[in-house]
Structure 1
């Protein structure tokens, strides 16, 4: 099966439910797809290119990384008001990558062109909990699939590993 419809590069794809995919694109859209039928269920239009997106099966929301230095939290199920529930602003340049914690519904990380990885709590959008430093060039990717370790890769040709406090190693 091929899912067609984006008008520019697809920059993120993640399973958002059984039989449902979420894609983000440089065409300023996020799409939720019915992977069994092959059609678009929902389209969310943003104001900038999306570079990354991640779905949390714990809280059933989506976070996105954009060219406007913001991370946004979307609730695609919302029937009232905006689908954007919170905007997180602390990066000073493009946000390239975002990943949810696999064990805490409130925590996620973001990596950006400002050489920073930031640890966020969704209950406090004004500033990140921690700035995880060390990269000497753009942060291009990050992951938090191992609950006790956050990892990032950068244009400085390095991978940085950060230990999450108060999380037992698995």
Structure 2
């Protein structure tokens, strides 16, 4: 979502909005009169995000609630890092899943993403999805570094 630009713009990426949800979310957004600033992209994020990047789209923030497969989460975060402005925010849903947590961990460890500890207040949702017994939160927000950079490949560490 871009809010500080000359024209606010909200982009929703949901390949299942029509087929699985009968456009319920999109219809509510339109009935609220937000369709002039909103765009629904009914394709997978792995197609939509590179397209937005190639169009020069820049966002202040993003919310990720997509696939829970590691490689798909990683691809989403990879492209969002290039789309969300330096110092911007990326919120990620379902970080308690090992696949999602592991993808996010890479960006924390190698690219300077900083978790915002009190972004989603409230009680933890309970034990992790595979019975690890730890208290987990569902969503986490991350602030991107003020300057974008590429780490040297020699500095790679496991995550």
- Structure with larger RCO (C-alpha < 8 A, sep 6+): 2
Pick the structure with greater CA Rg.
2
TM-score by length of 1: 0.30
Higher strand fraction (1 or 2): 1
Determine which structure has the larger helix proportion and give its number.
2
**Which TM-score applies when normalising by structure 2?**
0.31
